[in-house]
Chains A and B, each alone.
Chain A
């Protein structure tokens, strides 16, 4: 058991446990915080895969913006979103069976792929520069890059419109 494997197992256990607590805890703020732990766990997994940029981008966007936004909403609408009773629904045996089947299917699929047993490729030093070049090169991802900016513009317009009508209603 190498050190990397131990760290990976620890991170995986923490992430899965946090994800489980997100859906089972009755307190909304606690759920948001368990979500933060889950997201940080995913960022650590990115680091283990040598994707440093993705790891910090994950923390910056998910923890720094999305989790904050969620907590704003929860705190500001507390009146309507009080803590309810136990969060596990009545159908949980069926859901558990489905989840186990799905998990088994994914494991079988991954194992039958020949890539799964191959050693990880070496990540070049210039990974981020390569990513930047790929984002703007015509044979690369320039169209998705520019479309992403249009998408962000559209998202902002939509959000402002929805909030504006709410404010003036």
Chain B
């Protein structure tokens, strides 16, 4: 619990320092906004139309495949910590788990979900 107290205090500090820098920048810098300066940057041209992005399925697929692998790896961490106390079939069970998810990777690969086209 003490360790988490230190980590919690450190997290608060690490949020505080950049915030302090930002406030310092706001105070020390001049503040003279005018419509041309605060306009959206588009390589010197006027912006046309709303700010929106073409929905490409690739972005979503990458995040989704990452999610599946993230959950898998989080399951593997307790297995890895308990590794040295496990009999051989414990190791085999972990390997089966990894092989299932390697199969998932192969499926996504073959189906072209990992292409950036």
Contacts and interface: CB of A to CB of B under 8 A. Distances in A.
A51 to B, nearest CB: 11
Contacts of B112: 164
Interface residues of A, number: 46
B75 to A, nearest CB: 6
Chain B interface size, under 10 / 10 to 19 / 20 to 34 / 35 or more: 35 or more
Interface stretch (B16-24, B25-33, B66-74): B66-74
B65 interface: yes
Contact of B97 (A78, A132, A146): A146
Given A69-B64, A72-B59, A160-B108, A136 B101 contact: no
B63 interface: yes
B104 to A, nearest CB: 5
Q: Give the 7 A-B CB pairs with smallest separation, nearest first.
A: A132-B82, A132-B78, A149-B100, A136-B90, A65-B67, A131-B78, A129-B82
Given A156-B68, A164-B112, A167-B57, 15 more contacts: A53-B78, A73-B60, A76-B56, A76-B59, A77-B55, A78-B53, A79-B50, A132-B83, A142-B93, A145-B75, A148-B75, A149-B97, A153-B101, A156-B65, A163-B64
Interface of B: 1, 4, 8, 50, 52-53, 55-57, 59-61, 63-68, 70-72, 74-75, 77-83, 85-86, 89-90, 93-94, 96-97, 100-101, 103-104, 107-108, 111-113
